[in-house]
Each structure stands twice: as C-alpha cells, then as structure tokens.
Amino acid sequence: MKKLLAMVLTGAMTLSLLAGCGGAKEAADASANTASDSASSSSDSAASASAAIADGVLTVGTNAEFPPFEYVGDDGQPDGFDIALIKAIGEKMGVKVEVQNMEFDSLIASIGNKIDVAIAGMTVTDERKLSVDFSDSYYDALQYVVVPKGSDIKTADDLKGRKIGVQLGTTGMFIAEDEIENSDVSSYNKAVDAVNDLVNGKVDLVIIDKNPALVFAGKYPDDVEALDGSQFGFGVENYAIALPKGDADLLGAINSALGELKKDGTFDRLVSEYIEN
C-alpha cells in the first residue's frame, strides 16, 4: 500500500514536472515566433537576430589558394567565385562583408571567434559537421588526380603505394591518407606547391578538387595532366558555407540570400563569369 502510494506520488510529480517543461517550452516557442515574425518583416532584422553579425559586419574566412573559387587578385585582395558569392549574400542580408585570408586548415577552428563564417570550396563532411553547421550546398565537386603527362596511373589500384601531394586538411588529404593503401602523403599549405613538387618529380601524383586541378595543371600543359576522379572511384562532394554551430538565424539568413541569388540569376552569372569561362 505504501509502495503504491509512493508510485502514485512519483507519477504525479513526473506529471507536474512535464507540465512545467511544457510551459517553459511554450514560452520559448512564443518568443521564437516573435523573433521570426519580426525577421520576416525585414531582411535587416533577420540578419541582426544573429549575434555574429549584430555589428553589421559578416567576417568571412577563406584560403585564397584555390582558383577559380578563391585566389589573390591583382589588387592583392581575395577574389574568385566564392568571394563574389559571399559578397552578394552579404548585400542581400544588408551586412558588410570583410574577407580574411588564412590557412585552409585553420578555418574551422576560427569560426565563431576570428571569423563568423568560412567560404573556401569547403566540402560538407560528417567529421566537420561535429564542429560547424553548413549552409545549403551551392556547388558539386569531385577530387581529380594530377599526374605527369603520359603517366600509366589509370585506376584506383595504380594509386597504391605512391607518393601523393595534397593540401593540408582537405578531403584530398583524407582520401590519400585513409583510403589509399600504403600511400606516402606530403601535405602542403598551398596546393600549388604540391603541383610544383609533382612537376619537380618529388611526388607521383596530386589529389585535389576538379576546378583547381584543371587550373594548376593548365599552368604546366607540357608536364602534367588532370584525370577525372570518377575513374578512381571518388564520389561527388558538395561545397557549402561553414557557420557556427546552432546559429539558426544566421543559417536562415544565409540560406534565404543564397536562394534569392539562385532565383534572380546572380548565381548562374557568377558561375559563368568565374568557373565556366
């Protein structure tokens, strides 16, 4: 009997606790609604709902060593498809965009402190998702294999046991280290240095994303060529903007700006201007 009473009491307490939680949750939902109501009434307030850009500035990290997505322009400033895209996104959001050039391998750890977001031809991976959130994907990519011209490297088997050059912290590095047997991997801060070492014969091949592979290989048309990664079984990757974890307002503002740029033709114009020309 006593036991039964105890059980009833515990049940009642649990119920009242649940009720309490419900109340708190309702209150939170109500304030979230207010925030999104005011956000939808003006895109400026959507942006300022995020603490990251409360100062009206979106600080963007990139690694301008990855043409045509990002490179240092003639004026010494970062330029390229990603830079033009994030500036257009900032304009739609009503914030100023400031770009900081840094090492690719430092980008993720800098999000939420040195920089608000990163745009750097960055592939969405499960591992990275543990530290950052990603916007909607804006471009499909694939790893390519840059080899000496006329090389006999043709299949996944041919990659085994080779000296492979990659850029530090990239998906090309993860493939070389984790998926290719007996690989001897050299990691460079700048991908172009890996290609230079390929030309000098210090590495046997370089694994890097398609478009930069074509640009870098194009610098040495007599010495190297870029091979399509699908012939080695590499899968499609998706580029997205990396953001601080859990900043739903910033994520929403960036995704809706990106959606608008796709709708109004700006996105396609940037693709043909920077990538397809």
**Piece of 12-20, 94-102, 118-126, 222-230 that binds ligand ARG (CB under 6 A):** 118-126
Q: Which of residues 58, 86, 93, 104 is near ligand ARG by CB under 6 A? A: 104
Candidates 48, 63, 196, 256: give the one binding ligand ARG (CB under 6 A).
63
Q: How far apart are CA 126 and CA 111, in angstroms?
A: 17
* Cβ-proximal residues to 146 (8 Å cutoff; 6+ apart), any chain: 195, 198, 205, 206, 207, 208, 213, 216, 217, 224, 225, 226, 227
Q: Does 183 bind ligand ARG (CB under 6 A)?
A: no
Residue pair 272/90 in contact (Cβ under 8 Å)? The answer is: no
Q: 3-state DSSP call for residue 241?
A: coil
In the shown chain, the binding pattern of residues 200 to 239 toward ligand ARG, with x for contact by CB under 6 A and - for none, equals ---------x------------------------------
CB of 113 to ligand ARG, least distance (A): 19
State phi, psi for 59 to the nearest 5 degrees.
-90, 120
114-129 as b/e, with b when 16 or more CB fall inside 10 Å? ebbbbbbbbbbeeebe
Does an H or E element contain 85, and which? helix 81-93
By CB under 6 A, residue 133 contacts ligand ARG: no
Q: Is residue 121 at the binding interface for ligand ARG, with CB under 6 A as the rule?
A: yes
Q: Which of 48, 50, 59, 170 is in the footprint of ligand ARG by CB under 6 A? A: 170
Give yes or no for residue 135 binding ligand ARG (CB under 6 A): no
Positions that interact with ligand ARG (CB under 6 A): 63, 65-66, 70, 104, 120-123, 141, 167, 170-171, 209
